[in-house]
Amino acid sequence: MTDARTEFTSLAKELKRRVALSDESDWNMKENRQGTLEELKLEVESCRKCPLGLSRIKAVFGVGNPKAKVMFVGEGPGYSEDRKGEPFVGRAGQLLDKILESIGLSRQTVYIANTVKCHPMKNPATPDARSNDRPPDETEINACRPYLDQQIDLISPAFIVTLGSVATKAMLHNEEPISKVRGIWREYATASGRVVRLLPTFHPAALLRNPDLKKLVWMDMKNLRSELEKGA
Ligand code: URA
């Protein structure tokens, strides 16, 4: 009887020890996950893999919830983002905030990043000129892709929404116009093999130029919200 009790006590102690250990390792994993995103940010901030790294003021890594269910991917930083080091802070960004709000999301609950992390300029010799933004080229997109892939691996979102044709083409490797592919779910595979469902939609800047596109983006956002609710 005493032996059985002793055995039981030592088993209980062992169980307690293992539970404590597993809690601790889970906790460490979560810490590492965030730490690694921070480390990746530092790496991006000192990146010189393409000429954009030489002309940027600030690298624009990304903002939001490091465990977000949805990741929004834009084209690349513009004039204001280059100065603030944060994506989508100009007029297009204000509209993106409203789009997120329309389906109960926010800058704090999703993660927002760009295809390239540094400001592509038409003329890097005049960084203070306005209207100097241009889309990133293929070499710049390819140089930055490992950073985007690692962000996706670390954040592990259930869904990616690409904003506009540059991000959509960069991630889907196709040449179809955004008007044909928007609203249709696709898949994106990172270099490490993680597969994430991807929904292309219009870039908020396109909505500023053509407000008629707003109803299509609204349809896409309702589509996203319904997929999020299925998983909730
Ligand atoms: N447009 C983008 O695609 N990304 C930004 O961060 C800002 C504007």
| 84 pLDDT higher than 60 | yes
Q: Answer whether 136 contacts ligand 1 (Cβ < 6 A).
A: no
SS (H, E, C) 158-174: CEEEEECHHHHHHHHCC
Strands (DSSP E) contained in the chain are 63-64, 70-74, 111-114, 159-163, 186-189, 195-201
| 152 pLDDT higher than 70 | yes
From the candidate CATH numbers 3.10.20.600, 3.30.565.10, 3.40.470.10, 2.40.320.10, the one assigned to the domain spanning 47-231 = 3.40.470.10
Pairwise CA distance, residues 148 & 2, whole Å = 60
The domain locations on the chain are: 47-231
pTM across the whole model: 0.85
**Any idea what the Cα angle at residue 152 is, between residues 150 and 157, rounded to 5°?**
155
Q: Answer whether 75 contacts ligand 1 (Cβ < 6 A).
A: yes
Q: Answer whether 74 contacts ligand 1 (Cβ < 6 A).
A: yes
Cα(147) to ligand 1 centroid in Å equals 16
| 181 pLDDT higher than 80 | yes
Q: Answer whether 78 contacts ligand 1 (Cβ < 6 A).
A: yes
Look up residue 190 and give its two tokens. Answer: 């990172």
Q: Answer whether 165 contacts ligand 1 (Cβ < 6 A).
A: no
Pairwise CA distance, residues 177 & 168, whole Å = 9
pLDDT in tens, 196-231: 999 999 999 999 999 999 999 999 999 999 999 998
**pLDDT at position 27, please?**
38
Cα(118) to ligand 1 centroid in Å equals 10
Closest CA to 73 of 142, 157, 185, 176: 157
Q: Answer whether 147 contacts ligand 1 (Cβ < 6 A).
A: no
- Is residue 155 very low, low, confident or very high in pLDDT (cuts 50, 70, 90)? very high
Best of 73, 81, 121 for a ligand 1 pocket test (most atoms within 8 Å of beta carbon): 81
**Any idea what the Cα angle at residue 71 is, between residues 124 and 110, rounded to 5°?**
105
**pLDDT at position 231, please?**
80
* Residue linked to tokens 């592919």: 181
Closest ligand 1 atom number to CA of residue 112? 6
Beta sheet of 159-163, edge-to-edge order: 63-64, 111-114, 70-74, 159-163, 195-201, 186-189
Best of 44, 56, 88, 140 for a ligand 1 pocket test (most atoms within 8 Å of beta carbon): 88
pLDDT in tens, 18-76: 333 333 444 344 444 445 999 999 999 999 999 999 999 999 999 999 999 999 999 99
Look up residue 205 and give its two tokens. Answer: 């800047």
Pairwise CA distance, residues 46 & 63, whole Å = 18
Best of 52, 72, 75 for a ligand 1 pocket test (most atoms within 8 Å of beta carbon): 75
Cα(166) to ligand 1 centroid in Å equals 11
For residues 154-169, give the mean pLDDT.
98
Closest ligand 1 atom number to CA of residue 166? 3
**pLDDT at position 16, please?**
42
- 35-44, 111-120, 131-140: lowest mean pLDDT where? 35-44
For residues 158-174, give the mean pLDDT.
97
**pLDDT at position 81, please?**
98
| 87 pLDDT higher than 90 | yes
